[in-house]
Structures are given as structure tokens and as C-alpha cells.
Amino acid sequence: MPAEPKPNRTNKTLGTTSSPVAQPSHSPAGFIPPHGGYRKLHSYPKTQIIYDGTVCFCDRFIDKRSRTHDQMVQAARSGNKNIAEASQASGTSKETEIKLTNVARASLEELLGDYEDYLRQHSLRLWDKNSKEALYVRKLGRENASYKSYKTFIETRPPEVVANILICLIHQANYLLDQLLRRLEQDFLKEGGLRERMTRARLQARAQQGGRA
């Protein structure tokens, strides 16, 4: 799976960064490209924070016996784990990589709706994207943040604050995944999938064998 952009520009709306993804490279001896480097993707640790934060939010504010509790936790888990699965599958199936990355993106969109529903149904405020609170969360997101960066807020603040923090994080993760999906599409159009790589590798091997004859 191609690495996500290294930070070189700031998205003014979401406070996230992106840059070109490294171009895929192919060894003359094979056709399976490097894969499985999901921990280097910016979206992976971001969605891990969302997953851990959602577990805490649901345990604190939602009845564990309710379907909503399980659905939110599973949506957060899917948003994180499908990134890892997509990365591992990318070596032999670009189609699977793209599909699973999109599943992660769709799961986060579902989770976003759950948090917005919670705020609306409990007559709580949804932060404006340019509010001082949202800007502070974005500032944290520009750094090498981990769950520890948000732990105190998520585990001690009231539901309105925690839900809004996680909404901000979901917007950031969604932006990163949208960028990644566009790049995966471009890479597929340029490089093709496994079948095309197999054909190129076989032709190259034949040419090398002919040169030694």
C-alpha cells in the first residue's frame, strides 16, 4: 500500500497535512510490490485514536446493552482495522486494497453520523469548524498525536466535549483517506494490478534469458 503524504501543506479546513505518495517500485526479479506498511500511514494512528476514544465515549455515556454502543465501537474498529487489512492485501490485489480502504472511509462516515445524532438528540452543541475549541483540536492533530494527547479530555470531560473532539478527529481521518483513495486510483491507472505486473515481470525475465543465450 503506498505511503500516505508526508506533511508539506496544511489543509485550512481540517488542519491536516498531505504530500505526494511514494511511487510504487518493482524489482526485476518479481511482481509483488512492497506492502503491509500501514503503520506509516498518517490515517492509521489517527483512526486508532478514534477507535480508543470511541470505546471510552461509549463506555462512559452509552448503555452497554444498547445496539448503539456496539455499532459505534464496531464502526470505529472497522475504520482502523480495514486500513491495516487493505495495506496487507495490496501486494496481490489493488482492487481489494481500494475496496477495504473505502470500507474504512465509509465506517468513519457512519461513526460521524452517530456522534452528530448523539449531540442533536441530547440538545448539545456541535462545534463550528472555526470555533476556538475546534481550532485547538486541529492544532493537536498537526503534531505527532497519539491517544495520550487526548486522553485527559476524552476520559474526564462531559459528553459534548468528547463527542466534538472525536468529530474533529473523524473529519481529519476522512480527509486523509480521501487523499489516499485518489492516489490509489491514480496508481492503479498508471501501474495496473497484479495481472499486469505479472505480465511485465514475465516479459522482462524472458528478455533477460534471451540476452544470456
Which of 95, 100, 107, 102 minimizes the C-alpha distance to 84?
100
**Model pTM above 0.85:** no
Q: Could you give the CA distance from residue 191 to residue 17 in angstroms, rounded to a whole number?
A: 26
190-211 pLDDT, tens digit per residue, is 776 556 655 555 566 666 676 6
Interior/surface letters 49-81, b for 16+ CB within 10 angstroms, e for the rest: bbbbbbbbbbeeebeeeeeebeebbebbbbbbb
59-91 pLDDT, tens digit per residue, is 999 999 999 999 999 999 999 999 999 988 876
